[in-house]
Structure 1
Amino acid sequence: MPLIRSADSCRSTTPNGVMTTLASPTQGGATHAVWRVDMPAGNTGPHHASDGEQVWTFLTGGATVELDRETITVEPRDTIVMPAGVSRRVHADAESGFSAIVAAPAGFEVYNPGGTTAADACDLAPKGTDRLVPPWVL
């Protein structure tokens, strides 16, 4: 069905935040995934990379984004494009945390850059060269 009611949105909780699926192949039959990220103050997401471009628009709060060895500070209403194949890590503002809307190709995979086991992409335990599709984009 093309209409996804707010009450029907799927939520995925990790130790770092909550992802709420707004549209995906299994939610609305979309060819792109759209989700909301709510990350509490001071939390940090995992270091990982994605094989699909992601576009993040920050709604509230702020964050520092490590993107391919560059550190970018974002505020509400800022948008950051995270290219495919580039390592990234998002740190929520220590005082406010943040909320963001993210869009990406449905079915993209996340992985640990460099094939190391030092990071845990999306806190869902891919190790080494393992790849996975995050549940909020299915």
Structure 2
Amino acid sequence: MGFTALWISPITAQVPNAYHGYYQTDLYSVNSEFGSADDLKNLVSAVHAKGMYLMLDIVPNHMAYPGCPDKVDYASFNVMGQPSHFHAFCPLQNMQNQTEVEHCWLGNCNMAMPDLKTDDEQVANELNYWVKQRVSRTTL
């Protein structure tokens, strides 16, 4: 078929029963539904052995909490566990409003998605470190 790359869903640990990879709670742990860290390394090796690239999707925008936005337990996140790492809650209602898109939250009382303050230097540094660690630990 001529494929040269494999693009996989985010592998970060998720809220219970999350299936797609975008409800992350722990940046540094692998979602056990997708396998282990060793399984990921084996996948990378197998893909590279075929002369292909592996692209790993990441979620640098938000974390996830299984509950209402006003009840988020920030300490439950292994990193960025302080409210100051996130924009204050405001529901994203207008996708045409750039300020809302950049600073408001997705989700509802089933699944809140606290919006990371990516313009904050500490948050940006942690995200950069996380990506570099993920790449170096899995030889992407």
Same-fold status (TM-score > 0.5): no
Going by fraction, where is helix more abundant, 1 or 2? 2
Going by fraction, where is strand more abundant, 1 or 2? 1
Does 1 or 2 have the higher relative contact order (CA < 8 Å, sep 6+)?
1
Return the index of the structure with the highest Cα Rg: 2
TM-score, normalisation: structure 1: 0.30
TM-score, normalisation: structure 2: 0.29
